[in-house]
Structure 1
Amino acid sequence: MQFPESWLREFCNPALSTQELADTLTMGGFEVEELDTVAPPFTGVVVGEIREAVPHPDADRLRVCKVDVGAAGEGELLQIVCGAPNARVGIKVPCAVVGAVLPPGADGKPFKIKLGKLRGVASHGMLCSASELKLADDHGGLLELPADTPVGQDIRASLNLDDTLFTLKLTPNLAHGLSVYGVARELAALTGTPLHTPAIATVPTTLDETLPVQVQAADLCGRFSGRIIRHINAQASTPRWMLDRLARCGQRGVSVLVDISNYVMFEYGRPSHIFDLDRIHGSLQVRWGKAGESLELLNGNTIEVDDQVGVIADEQQLESLAGIMGGNATAVSDATQNVYVEAAFWRPQAIQGRSRRYNFSTDAGHRFERGVDPSLTVEHIERITQLILDICGTPQTQVAAIDDQTLQLPENPPVTLRVARAARIIGMPVSSSDCENAFQRLGLPFQREVDEHGNEVLRVTPPPHRFDLAIEADLIEEVARIIGFSQLPETPPQAPISARAQPENRRSKFAVRHLLADLGYQETINFSFVEAAWEAELAGNANPIRLLNPIASQMSVMRSTLLGSLLQALKFNLDRRASRVRLFELGRVFLRDDSVATTDTTVQGVHQPMRVAALAYGDSAGRQWTHTERKADFYDAKGDVEALLAPLQATFEAAEHPALHPGRSARIVLDGKTIGFVGELHPRWRQQWELPQAPVLFELELDAVLQRPIPLAQEISRFQQVERDLAVVVAETVTLAQIQQAIASSAHQALINTVTLFDIYRPAPGQSSGGVGEGEKSMALRLHLGSKEAALAEADIDAALQAALQSLQTQLGARLRA
């Protein structure tokens, strides 16, 4: 909402500076987002009147003008050479005299007017256009001023260019602040300054005629008012004062009738519409649309409507999109002679969301979907009528009586305020008189009562323009606004505050972030709502949790995996020529779970665990001179998972995951429970995302990662350990984990401390070599043996090795390699 300060002060003029006024509105809940001047700084520009304009002797497009600038010219006419096409005798224009400083041009430097010559003729100044003064983008000619503008007056004072533009950032519940009068009403309540409410006189009627209107949908339109006005001059020019105010509200002038309608909208917050009466066929119907109907709007778009969109139609076609935009079929033009002025109350629920269906928004829709006072339709038509008569009226103009149909206005049930509760919520002593004073200043009718417990209560009836007063908290907010948030005491909390001790057996989320950063990953933060296709493809989730009102079509479901977000971030970086990407995210996922009940932190049927996921792409360690480039693979990601879980030791079991390569992925198991997956991206998704190579990813339950067992001190053996190497032949499907498990279950496993794999040998395809056949592999193991009780004898070592071999042969069919 943008408006000039001067217009606001016509309704309410407190003894405050511009900044103090802005601060008052902001602290009253009407945040002033920006203050700006109407025009940039410039000096030395006065009102001049062209007394003479003759062609330049040596230039066809130049004129030599004699300009009266009053006292600025010391009583003499200034000779100024001008090339504007509208430079003519009798008009008053801005004149920059010698020494004037104009706003900066394209080079950013102020432009100073000097005495000069144009084609040999002296020029003592410059006649200015609106664009040269940075008042508008109009380059068509000189800025013509009203004929009654005093000659010699400073142009800043003449056009009120030192006026300040207020830009308010209003929350959706402050519909009553979407007009200059509405803001002034709030300012009067906040400051106690009297509010000036101009009387809207009833225009005498001279025509006995009404346009038949049938309101067929009371749930769409609660009140419909309109009147006929005949024999107007639609070619009249919009007055300069009205155009200036509209421009300072951010609205361009369109035509005189449209400008009048827009002016009253900014003045009182009432959108209205003016129809060309001669283009209406028969009567009007206010109803819901019908499937298959179409309407050409004033913006040139043709839309299809259905039974969820309100329309105004005549007997042949649709004429208007109710409460949003008029139609081209009955648009006013310079040829318009007879008009129908309409002002209605459109129910907010019937307007909300309709503009977004057609990908546009309007000032009218913006107001109606928040709520417009239904009680003043007749008064606002009278205001529009008077402006039409003043600006477009002719001796033949006739005005008909207003046809006002009231069907179903919104109910305003009383809202009860408990004075004691208001004091508790606001945090300071508040009496019944304080609340009553606030309501009186805001114009809220109330009754004083005592409830069944003997407590003071005030029962407030919201006025028609306040759609935001529905519950007790709304009234408490109004009381706090009027008292002033700056008046609230700074009271320290009474409850004792003690720091929560972090359990020693759990690490924090920040520690996990730091650990991943130490491993070379960078954190990314993404939305929790994602594309539905990601859920189906990357998580195998055919029934994701869908949003009722997604902000975008590609953000329609809640994610059950973090992998899609990481892949999107990878794609974003690769599109910008990144060659190595390592990302991680700690985030919440959303899973269907009927066992979850609604609490302060949960929603029924939705499980919301935290997970940590990471992605590695490109060279494993970054390009260096010490080694050749090697792309990150499954084992790099596996090593990072092990580092993340340390000192816990997880096992990795071959498994399939919808997002991962079937032969290069594994589930991560900790204490017998699957806590996540690790692997290379599935080739299908790599091709779909157009990735030059496959990234490796992992995703873990955060609770598992946060576990950190308390270290226990153990005695170090005083006896030297012994190393022995074994090479065993096993089937290709046997894993190291199975070998380690078999050895750990052998008869002398207490003597074997660790088992390490240091080599794998496979013969060439279709051949047998070194005692290893096709479909087999040789795994070289290094066993570390030792005891805390005594040094191991050779017999003990041999017994332990034989027991290990026996266990491997029994459980895995392994044999010692020849």
Structure 2
Amino acid sequence: MKFTLSWLRTHLVTDAELPTILKTLNAIGLEVEGVENPAEKLGAFRIAKVLTAERHPQADKLQVLTVDHGTDLNGGNPLQVVCGAPNARAGLVGVFGVEGAVVPVNGMVLRKTAIRGVESNGMMCSYRELELGEDHDGIIELADDAPVGQVYAQWAGLDDPVIDVSVTPNRQDCMGVRGIARDLAAAGLGTLNDIIVPEIAGEGPGPDIRIEDAEGCPAFYARVVRGVKNGASPEWMAKQLKAIGQKPISALVDITNYIMIDLGRPLHVYDLGTLKGGLVARKGRAGEQVLALNGKTYSVDETMTVIADDEAVHDIGGIMGGEHSGAQDGTTDVLIECAYFTPERIAVTGQKLGLTSDARGRFERGVDPAFLDDGLSIATFLVTHLCGGTPSEATRVGAPPVAPKTVAYRPDQCLALAGVDVPADEQKRILEKLGFAVSGDAAGIEYQDGMPVSVAGDWTVTVPSWRRDVDGWPDIVEEVVRIVGLDHVPSTPLPRAPGVARPTATPEQLVERRVRRTAAARGLAEAVNWSFLSEKEAESVGGGHWTLANPISEDLKVMRPSLLPGLLSATRRNMDRGASSVRLFEVGRRYFAQGERATVGFVLAGEKTPRGWRSGKAQGFDAFDAKGEILALLSAAGAPVANLQNFGEASAAYHPGQSGTMRLGPKAVLAEYGVLHPGLAKQFGLTGTVVAGEIFLDAVPAKRRSGSLRAPYAPPALQAVKRDFAFLLPVDVEADALVRAVRGAEKKSIVDVRLFDVFVGPGVEDGQKSLAVEVTLQPGDKSFGQDELEAISAAIVKAAQKLGGSLRA
């Protein structure tokens, strides 16, 4: 929401300087996003007069001017300037940029230069070059009596700061300059002027309008003005609109824009001569289209409210009017529409059409439903005052939702809820300045033990029609505290209970902390991504279960069924910015029809190790790197890593044959990992080998992830014994099956089994492979005897034989 300081002062009588106003706006919750003063960048541009204008000797379209700039530059003597503007002539008074000035439109610094062999000093400027308009057909022409030598911005009244305020969605009342002025007045920064609503003496009956969609448009008011003469807006109105970035179009159009920004009340003006029959607010119909004022054609349907005549749709209700029926230069009779549209209907329509406008931004927040008559009268007055014409009577159809809303409130609730002790009379003053009506018992005095005690009475607070966001007494407290200033809320520490504080983190949170620390310690960087995905991204990982009814955008529509899309997008952004190695992880939630699932995801891409000096090649990641991260993070989560089984059935997001899952039994999947499927990598713009994995924390047995203390470390008294075994097994037997079988051969003595060699080639028959394992045996209270070692070895060989293996000679 942009407005100028002078515009604000038309509603607020105040002596406060700009810094005080900005500080107060921030203090009362209207965050100032920026302040820009056009005069600051135009300080080097002065009013100058062209004394002579002669044809350039080397160019037909250029002229050589002598310019009186009225300054001490060049000893006060006129300067020679080469100019190509068609309207440059002797006697013209315009705007001159001296040497060293910076042209606002392109940042060019003016220097003394030679153009086609003729020296030129400075530049005569157009409106577009100074960012004061779009006119670039010629240089600026000022009145003949404009003071030569004076700074143009000061003479033109451009020393008027433009304030840009961020208005939160609940503050629909501050989508107009008057609402902001009201808040500043309540904060003690001045007095709010009374709004002047003219009385319109209409002649003849009002226009034919009706409502067929009362749910979308509860109230529709209108008035006809005949005999208008459309033209350029008055200078004061065009100046204010241009200052905030609005392009003046014509008086009729600019009036509606001015009222919308000034009072927060959108309106629309129709060219009555283009309408066929009366206007009706109804639902759209399948197949209907409207060419909007932005030059685009939109298809409407029965979920949208439109304004139409007997033949066609002329307005997407509350969002944008149609080009065909808009006010034109030759318009003589107009119909002024002032309607109330349901905020929810406006929001859904705008989102479905992908259409934004200033009117939509106000209607979907909720404009003042009690301001229809006044808004129509103000618009009618400005039309007749600036464009002439004779107004008709007003036609009023429907009824806006203006039922008063009351809230029971006690002044002592401010201290109880917000911790700020504001006197009751000050609270009443603030609320009344904001437009609330306060009635009920005032604060009184009671005596307790002979001492006077202040007692707050019970109030009934009537909410103004422009504050649809206020529902209960906490909202009243918020209004009081906001105006008093949030910086007055004291920082009060919570009372500390005696003794040792109980832990506040849940077992699940403790697991997430351990996993997060472990991932960071292993060199992975944490990413925090949106929990929403586009439908296309969700489909790439199996499809989402939850679709938002009112998403922020189409790219954030589905609750994520996997952490991979967000991590892959982050990986691509890092790679696009020159990262040679990306190692990311995220701890978050996946969303399914059954509920949320705590998950850890990671992605490894790019170079695992930097390019070596000897080979000149970098080493990339592979599926075993992903498996290593999976095992480390599962161990941190408390999973029984030694008991896990490796299956090769990862989801379709992974490369077949280069991926797997970690399970406790056939059905309990704790994690999946591997090389990313090439198709998925391509979808996210990634090249080379990308590996990833996800750990499903909710699948880790609760007793293992409870965070309970581990048993104290008790090192064995005797040294372990290690034995190596090499077995010949069928090629389809997984190494993991052999490791598990050997570990179970003698559970009391075998504490570890490690695969250290896989061999296929000379000396090994076709259809077989050689697997070598290292077995660690730990004696108990006495060392192993030879007989015991031979018995354990025999048990190991027997376990391998059950898998179809034999001890390799």
Q: TM-score, normalised by structure 2?
A: 0.84
Is 1:433 aligned with 2:425? yes
The match for 1:699 among 691, 694, 708 is 694
Deviation at 1:622, TM superposition (A): 4.3
1:530 matched residue in structure 2: 533
> What one-letter code is carried by the residue in structure 2 that aligns with 1:401?
E
1:13 matched residue in structure 2: 13
1:416 matched residue in structure 2: 408
1:624 matched residue in structure 2: 612
> What one-letter code is carried by the residue in structure 2 that aligns with 1:614?
F
Contact in 2 for aligned 1:214/1:286 (Cα 8 Å): yes
When residues 382 and 68 of structure 1 are mapped into structure 2, their CA distance, relative to the original with a 3 A threshold, is farther
When residues 661 and 322 of structure 1 are mapped into structure 2, their CA distance, relative to the original with a 3 A threshold, is closer
Deviation at 1:374, TM superposition (A): 2.9
**Counterpart secondary structure, 1:525:** coil
When residues 545 and 13 of structure 1 are mapped into structure 2, their CA distance, relative to the original with a 3 A threshold, is same
2:794 matched residue in structure 1: 802
Q: In the TM superposition, what are the counterparts of 1:73-92 in structure 2 within 5 Å? A: 84-87=85-88
1:598 matched residue in structure 2: none
Range with greater deviation from structure 2 (613-622 or 165-174): 613-622
**Counterpart secondary structure, 2:671:** strand
The match for 1:351 among 338, 346, 350 is 346
Contact in 2 for aligned 1:128/1:143 (Cα 8 Å): yes
2-side partners of 1:297 and 1:786: how far apart? 83
> What one-letter code is carried by the residue in structure 1 that aligns with 2:348?
G
Range with greater deviation from structure 2 (20-29 or 622-631): 622-631
2:36 matched residue in structure 1: 36
2:474 matched residue in structure 1: 473
Is 1:816 aligned with 2:804? no
When residues 103 and 481 of structure 1 are mapped into structure 2, their CA distance, relative to the original with a 3 A threshold, is same
When residues 398 and 147 of structure 1 are mapped into structure 2, their CA distance, relative to the original with a 3 A threshold, is farther
Q: Which blocks of at least 5 consecutive residues in structure 2 are unaligned?
A: 444-454
1:442 matched residue in structure 2: 434
Deviation at 1:298, TM superposition (A): 1.7
Contact in 2 for aligned 1:246/1:253 (Cα 8 Å): yes
Contact in 2 for aligned 1:42/1:101 (Cα 8 Å): no
1:214 matched residue in structure 2: 210
1:324 matched residue in structure 2: 319
Is 1:678 aligned with 2:673? yes
State the Cα deviation string for residues 426-445 of structure 1 (Å, max 9, x = none).
20223432321222221211
Is 1:639 aligned with 2:609? no
The match for 1:405 among 391, 397, 405 is 397
> What one-letter code is carried by the residue in structure 2 that aligns with 1:610?
A
Q: Which blocks of at least 5 consecutive residues in structure 1 are unaligned?
A: 594-605
**Counterpart secondary structure, 1:16:** coil
1-side partners of 2:299 and 2:86: how far apart? 46
2-side partners of 1:69 and 1:763: how far apart? 95
State the Cα deviation string for residues 16-46 of structure 1 (Å, max 9, x = none).
1101111111211222111110233445755
2:451 matched residue in structure 1: none
2-side partners of 1:799 and 1:277: how far apart? 106
The match for 1:362 among 357, 363, 375 is 357
Is 1:668 aligned with 2:662? yes
> What one-letter code is carried by the residue in structure 1 that aligns with 2:461?
V
2:450 matched residue in structure 1: none
2:279 matched residue in structure 1: 284
When residues 200 and 412 of structure 1 are mapped into structure 2, their CA distance, relative to the original with a 3 A threshold, is closer
1-side partners of 2:341 and 2:507: how far apart? 62
2-side partners of 1:184 and 1:516: how far apart? 53
Range with greater deviation from structure 2 (724-733 or 306-315): 724-733
State the Cα deviation string for residues 39-81 of structure 1 (Å, max 9, x = none).
334457555677x7765596865678898989999xx997986
2-side partners of 1:625 and 1:91: how far apart? 73
Deviation at 1:246, TM superposition (A): 0.6
**Counterpart secondary structure, 1:361:** coil
1-side partners of 2:715 and 2:64: how far apart? 108
2-side partners of 1:731 and 1:79: how far apart? 98
1:596 matched residue in structure 2: none
2-side partners of 1:196 and 1:382: how far apart? 18
2-side partners of 1:690 and 1:14: how far apart? 57
2:268 matched residue in structure 1: 273
1-side partners of 2:552 and 2:420: how far apart? 40
Q: Equivalent pairs: percent with the same residue? A: 31
2-side partners of 1:112 and 1:690: how far apart? 47
**Counterpart secondary structure, 1:265:** helix
2:243 matched residue in structure 1: 248
1:610 matched residue in structure 2: 598
State the Cα deviation string for residues 629-679 of structure 1 (Å, max 9, x = none).
665433333333334445853323324122345544443246995422233
2:755 matched residue in structure 1: 757
State the Cα deviation string for residues 329-386 of structure 1 (Å, max 9, x = none).
2122222222222222222233223223222211112112222223333333333333
Q: In the TM superposition, what are the counterparts of 1:91-102 in structure 2 within 5 Å? A: 93-94=94-95, 102=101
Is 1:384 aligned with 2:379? yes
Q: TM-score, normalised by structure 1?
A: 0.83
1-side partners of 2:115 and 2:297: how far apart? 56
Deviation at 1:248, TM superposition (A): 1.2
Deviation at 1:489, TM superposition (A): 3.1
Deviation at 1:5, TM superposition (A): 0.2
1-side partners of 2:752 and 2:220: how far apart? 88
2:194 matched residue in structure 1: 197
Contact in 2 for aligned 1:412/1:464 (Cα 8 Å): yes
Deviation at 1:469, TM superposition (A): 1.8
1-side partners of 2:45 and 2:687: how far apart? 65
When residues 254 and 622 of structure 1 are mapped into structure 2, their CA distance, relative to the original with a 3 A threshold, is same
State the Cα deviation string for residues 298-331 of structure 1 (Å, max 9, x = none).
2222221112211111122222221121112212
1-side partners of 2:298 and 2:106: how far apart? 45
Is 1:458 aligned with 2:459? yes
1:311 matched residue in structure 2: 306
Contact in 1 for aligned 2:743/2:753 (Cα 8 Å): no
When residues 476 and 149 of structure 1 are mapped into structure 2, their CA distance, relative to the original with a 3 A threshold, is farther
State the Cα deviation string for residues 126-175 of structure 1 (Å, max 9, x = none).
75433454534533223234678677765333222221110010001111
Range with greater deviation from structure 2 (163-172 or 584-593): 584-593
Contact in 2 for aligned 1:218/1:407 (Cα 8 Å): no
1-side partners of 2:756 and 2:66: how far apart? 102
Deviation at 1:242, TM superposition (A): 1.6
The match for 1:657 among 647, 650, 662 is 650
**Counterpart secondary structure, 1:470:** coil
Is 1:183 aligned with 2:171? no
Q: In the TM superposition, what are the counterparts of 1:488-567 in structure 2 within 5 Å? A: 488-496=489-497, 509=512, 511-532=514-535, 538=541, 540=542, 544-567=545-568
1-side partners of 2:128 and 2:469: how far apart? 43
> What one-letter code is carried by the residue in structure 1 that aligns with 2:233?
T
Deviation at 1:424, TM superposition (A): 0.9
Deviation at 1:793, TM superposition (A): 3.7
When residues 16 and 763 of structure 1 are mapped into structure 2, their CA distance, relative to the original with a 3 A threshold, is same
**Counterpart secondary structure, 1:329:** coil
2-side partners of 1:154 and 1:671: how far apart? 84
Is 1:169 aligned with 2:166? yes
Range with greater deviation from structure 2 (669-678 or 475-484): 669-678
1-side partners of 2:365 and 2:270: how far apart? 24
Deviation at 1:188, TM superposition (A): 1.5
**Counterpart secondary structure, 2:265:** coil
When residues 567 and 365 of structure 1 are mapped into structure 2, their CA distance, relative to the original with a 3 A threshold, is closer
